[in-house]
Chain A
């Protein structure tokens, strides 16, 4: 069990470009969550999946953001037409069946939009 992994760890992009992040949850974990964390703040919920179904999306998730989990394993988060306000740490977490309160976080992807 290698824990939740996220790639890339860092991404620098120019305003207006599209970016995609990947999250690999812990094996057998059925739920996968995405959070965003800006400097000096706690993480904020973006969206979550149970298996391949996206069950809830925060109002923070504008229409420039899309997340997928096509086979119920890894997930991707895409941001289109990035803005400077998108600069943040993007965190992924997964939780096991029957213990969904037990969220295991990945190391995050730090996005900087210039």
Chain B
């Protein structure tokens, strides 16, 4: 079955708006992470967040491992936030850190 599921698949925001992206994952997923893929295809890791909450500027993330979900918050969005946001986790359980990605949320921030 689906092991890393993201919602919504697409999101259009006016510049300055806030948003919440969600990632549901199966109980076999460890070491959850969030990535941003910019329109040129470059993947950047945003957060390594197996549990708890982290913040970095306008972005923050929360993972509730016991309930198998993670949330990425974007506040005061900017056009440079556009791109695809992926959550990914390690299903191997063997310390290989081979990541299984969700299908992503495509975010478009319009001025």
* Count of interface residues, chain B, beta-carbon cutoff 8 Å: 25
Using known A-B contacts A42-B103, A42-B104, determine if residue A101 contacts B97 with beta carbons closer than 8 Å: yes
Min CB gap B26→A, angstroms: 15
Q: Of A12-20, A73-81, A104-112, which stretch is located at the interface? A: A104-112
Across the interface, name the chain A residue whose C-beta is closest to B86.
A42
Instruction: State which of B12-20, B38-46, B56-64, B67-75 sits at the interface with chain A.
Output: B38-46
B98 lies within 8 A of chain A by Cβ: yes
Whether A40 is near chain B, meaning CB under 8 Å from some CB there, is yes
SS of A interface (majority): strand
Q: In the complex the two chains form, what is the Cα distance from A31 to B92 in whole Å? A: 16
Q: CB within 8 Å of B: which of A24-79?
A: 31, 33, 35, 40-45, 48, 55-56, 58
**A binding-site residues for B, Cβ under 8 Å:** 31, 33, 35, 40-45, 48, 55-56, 58, 89, 91, 93, 95, 100-105, 107-108, 110
Apart from A42-B4, A43-B86, A45-B98, what 17 extra A-B contacts exist at CB < 8 Å?
A33-B98, A42-B104, A43-B99, A43-B101, A44-B101, A45-B100, A48-B98, A56-B92, A89-B41, A95-B97, A101-B31, A101-B97, A102-B45, A103-B45, A105-B44, A107-B40, A108-B41
